[in-house]
Amino acid sequence: MSSPTLQPYQIDLIDKAMSCGALKFGSFKLKSGRISPYFFNAGLLSSGPILAVLSEAFASTIVSAQASSPSDPESTPIPEFDVIFGPAYKGIPFAATTALQLYTQHHVSVGFAYDRKEAKDHGEGGVMVGVPLFGKRVVILDDVMTAGTAVRLAIDLVKKQGGEVVGVIQCLDREEVGQDGVSSTVKEVEGILGKGRVKAILRMRDLMAWLESKGMTEELDGMKEYWDKYGLK
Instruction: Assess whether 120 carries a catalytic annotation.
Output: yes
Each residue's pLDDT tens digit, 61-115: 999 999 877 666 677 899 999 999 999 999 999 999 999 999 999 999 999 999 9
User: What average pLDDT does this structure show over 32-43?
Assistant: 93
pLDDT for 77 equals: 92
Q: Which of 31, 107, 117, 122 is catalytic?
A: 122
Q: Which candidate, 3, 49, 8, 43, places its Cα nearest to that of 23?
A: 43
147 pLDDT tier (thresholds 50, 70, 90): confident
More confident residue, 4 or 180: 4
pLDDT for 103 equals: 98
pLDDT for 207 equals: 98
Model confidence at 123: pLDDT above 60: no
User: What average pLDDT does this structure show over 189-198?
Assistant: 92
Q: Which of 106, 120, 159, 195 is catalytic?
A: 120
User: What average pLDDT does this structure show over 193-209?
Assistant: 95
Instruction: Assess whether 199 carries a catalytic annotation.
Output: no
pLDDT for 178 equals: 78
10 pLDDT tier (thresholds 50, 70, 90): very high
Per CATH, which fold does 8-230 belong to?
Rossmann fold (3.40.50)
More confident residue, 171 or 147: 171
Model confidence at 153: pLDDT above 70: yes
pLDDT for 68 equals: 76
% pLDDT > 70, the chain: 94
pLDDT for 165 equals: 98
Model confidence at 31: pLDDT above 60: yes
Model confidence at 223: pLDDT above 60: yes
Model confidence at 124: pLDDT above 90: no
pLDDT for 177 equals: 86
> CA-CA distance, 50 to 24, in Å (whole number)?
16
